[in-house]
Structure 1
Amino acid sequence: MDHASTAVANPEIARSLVAAGIRTNYHDVGSGPPLLLIHGSGPGVSAWANWRLVIPALARQARVVAPDMVGFGYTDRPPGQRYDMDVWVGQALGLLDALGIERADLVGNSFGGALALALAIRQPQRVRRLVLMGSVGVKFPITPGLDAVWGYTPSFENMRRLLDLFAHDRSLVNDELARLRYEASIRPGFQESFAAMFPAPRQRWVDAMASRESDIRALPHQTLVIHGREDRIIPLSNSLTLADWIPRAQLHVFGQCGHWTQIEHAARFVRLVGDFLAEAGADEPAPLTR
C-alpha cells in the first residue's frame, strides 16, 4: 500500500506492508542488488531523516530499501509493543521476506549497526556484505552524548543541544533543522515509544544491544566499518574493536566528522560504500584461521 497523497506533504512516508506482524513504513527506490539501510535511534528519527542525502545516489546502483524500525518514524506502534533486538531483527527479516528478498547487503547506522550485526550473526545466509557505521553492538561505557540522546525530553532547546553533539560541523546544525527534528519528536506516539525504549539507567541498553565476541569473530561476511573521528555519541573504539574482531573487515575513519557520517560527508560516504558493495570478489564465507 502506498501513502501517495500523504507523501506529497511528507517525504518520510512512503510505502507500507506488514513485516513480522508490524505494519512498516519503508522506502523502496532503485533497482539492482538489494541494499537494506537501517537507521539510528535519535529522537524524531525516521529512515528518510537518516538516509535522505544518500538514497538517491545509492539507488543508481542498487535497490535501496530503508524501513522505519518499530518504535521509530511512521511504522505502527501496536499497544504494548515490546522493543528489543529480537523484535527488530524479526521485523527486518519479515520485511525482506515480504519483499521476496533472499539476500541483501546491510548498512546499519549506530543502533542500526547493532541490529545489522545481530541479523548477520543469526541469519548469515540472508546477508551478502555488511557496512557498520558509528555502530553499537559491542559493550562500552555509555558516553555522556548517548545518555543525553536516549534521555531526550522534548523541547526545541534540548533538540538543539543534541544536534550540536551529533555533528562536528556546526554549520549543519541550524535552528530550522532543530525545529524540524523537535516537531518530529512530538508527533503522536513518537516520544512515548522513544521513552519506553531507553529508560534510565541506560548502560543496560548498550549492553543489551551487544553481540557476543565469539559470534562477531565468527562472521564470514566482507564488512566495511566506518566511523567519524570526532564522534561524541558512539566512541571510535567501538569500530576499532569491530574491525579487529571481524576477520574480513576493513576500517575507514572520517576526519573532521561526528556521528553523522552519511550527512557530514554524504558524497564521500556514497563513493566509499558504493565501491565496497560493487567491487568484485568472493562473497561466500572464507575459512577462518583464528
Structure 2
Amino acid sequence: MWRERRVPGETEIFVAWQEWPEDRALLVVHGGPDWDHSYLRDPLAQLDCQLLLPDLRGCGRSGRVPEYHPDGVMGDLVRVLDAFDVERADVLGHSYGGMVAQRFAITRPERVRSLIVSGSSVLPVPPDAFEGWAERDEIMARQDEPWQRVGLSPEDVRAEAFAAAPANIWRAEAMPGYLRRLEEVRFGTEWLRQLQAGILVTPRLPDAAQRIAALDIPVLLLHGRYDMTFPVSLVQPTLDLIPRARAVVLEDAGHMLHVDDPDGYLRAVREFLDGAALDGGLELGRARPV
C-alpha cells in the first residue's frame, strides 16, 4: 500500500513510499520534468524493497522555488534519503529523470548503491540519431510543438502528453491503460517556464559515462527497442564505456517501456536488484517473461 510523506527543507518534497521489512531502498526519479511520479508506480509497486518515489521540486505535490538548477534537486534527493534513514539506495531514473539519477550517482556517490537508467541515455543524443526511421518521422510530424507559446497552463502540458502518446507507447494494446494513467498525473509548468526563459540547466554532466564507470557500481541500461526519445543505438556504445554496466532491451516497447512490457520491465529490475547483473545474468537482448 502506498503511503505519503512530505519532507521539509528549502522546498517541501512530496514522497509516495512503500515500506518493506528488508533493509534495501529503491529511489525512483520521474521524468517530464513537469510531470509527477505517479506514472511510474506500476509495476514497480510489485518489487520486494522499500520504494521512494518523490515528486521533483516544482512538480506534482512538491513545493515551488524560484529556480530549478539540478544541484538543488541533488540536495532534495539527499534530504529524501535522510528523512527515511536510508544511507545508500539503488537509484532508478526514467527519461529526464534518468539524467537526474546519473548526476546524483556522480555527485553523491556515497548515497548510491546501484544505478538503473530507464528509457534514457548516458551519452548525448546526436542530431541524426533517428535518421531513416520513417515511422517515427510520420508520428513526430503529427505532434504539436506548444513549448514556444507563452502562458502555458498545466492543462496545456496535459494535452501535450496525451497528444504525444503515440510517440511514447509502441504496443497498441497498451495505449488505453497508458491514457488512463495520464489522467492521474499532476502536470505543471514550472520547469517549462525556466526552459522558455533560457535558464534551465541540463542535469547531464560532461563525460558522464566515464565518470559513472569510475564509480565502479552496478549499472543497468533498461530500454525499449522502439524508443522515439532516446535511441536504442546508444546502448551498446555506453556498455563499451562502462565495464560494470549491463543492458536489457525490451523488444516490444517504446519510451514508456514499463507500460508497453510491464512483465519484462519488472523482471529486469528485479533481477538487477537481486544481484544478477554482477554475475552476467543480464544480457543485451529480449528480456525473458516473468
Q: Calculate the TM-score normalised by the size of structure 1.
A: 0.77
Contact 1:116 1:130 in 2 (8 A): yes
RMSD of aligned residue pairs (Cα, Å): 3.3
The C-alpha deviation readout for 1:159-182, integer Å capped at 9, x for no partner, is 332111111123333499279549
Are positions 1:210 and 2:196 aligned together? no
* Consecutive unaligned residues in structure 2, runs of 5 or more: 131-136, 280-290
Describe how 1:4-23 pairs up with structure 2 within 5 A.
14-18=4-8, 20-23=9-12
Alpha-carbon distance in 1 for matches of 2:247, 2:147: 30
Corresponding residue for 1:69?
Answer: 56
Aligned AA for 1:131? I
Alpha-carbon distance in 1 for matches of 2:276, 2:184: 43
Change (3 A) 1:141 1:271: same
Change (3 A) 1:148 1:87: farther
Change (3 A) 1:156 1:226: closer
Corresponding residue for 1:4?
Answer: none
Contact 2:144 2:160 in 1 (8 A): no
Are positions 1:199 and 2:196 aligned together? yes
The C-alpha deviation readout for 1:185-232, integer Å capped at 9, x for no partner, is 3xxxx22x0322432879x86xx3322223233231111111111111
Corresponding residue for 1:232?
Answer: 228
Describe how 1:1-80 pairs up with structure 2 within 5 A.
14-18=4-8, 20-31=9-20, 32=22, 33-41=24-32, 43=34, 45-49=35-39, 51-58=40-47, 61-78=48-65, 80=66
Corresponding residue for 2:168?
Answer: 166
Other structure's SS at 2:64 match: coil
Contact 1:159 1:181 in 2 (8 A): no
Other structure's SS at 2:247 match: strand
Alpha-carbon distance in 2 for matches of 1:150, 1:215: 35
How many corresponding residue pairs?
257
Corresponding residue for 2:99?
Answer: 114
* Consecutive unaligned residues in structure 1, runs of 5 or more: 1-6, 284-290
Q: Calculate the TM-score normalised by the size of structure 2.
A: 0.77
Alpha-carbon distance in 1 for matches of 2:181, 2:118: 26
Other structure's SS at 1:221 match: coil
Alpha-carbon distance in 1 for matches of 2:185, 2:27: 27
Other structure's SS at 2:248 match: strand
Change (3 A) 1:62 1:24: same
Corresponding residue for 2:275?
Answer: 279
2:244 corresponds to which of 232, 242, 248:
248
Are positions 1:105 and 2:90 aligned together? yes
Other structure's SS at 1:87 match: helix
Alpha-carbon distance in 2 for matches of 1:30, 1:130: 20
Contact 1:37 1:64 in 2 (8 A): yes
Contact 2:252 2:261 in 1 (8 A): no
Alpha-carbon distance in 2 for matches of 1:41, 1:239: 21
After TM superposition, give the deviation of residue 87 of structure 1 in Å. 1.4
Corresponding residue for 1:128?
Answer: 113
Contact 1:228 1:254 in 2 (8 A): yes
Alpha-carbon distance in 2 for matches of 1:155, 1:277: 34
Contact 2:220 2:246 in 1 (8 A): yes
Change (3 A) 1:149 1:98: farther
After TM superposition, give the deviation of residue 158 of structure 1 in Å. 3.5
Alpha-carbon distance in 2 for matches of 1:217, 1:161: 37
After TM superposition, give the deviation of residue 84 of structure 1 in Å. 2.3
Describe how 1:142-153 pairs up with structure 2 within 5 A.
151=147
Alpha-carbon distance in 1 for matches of 2:14, 2:166: 28
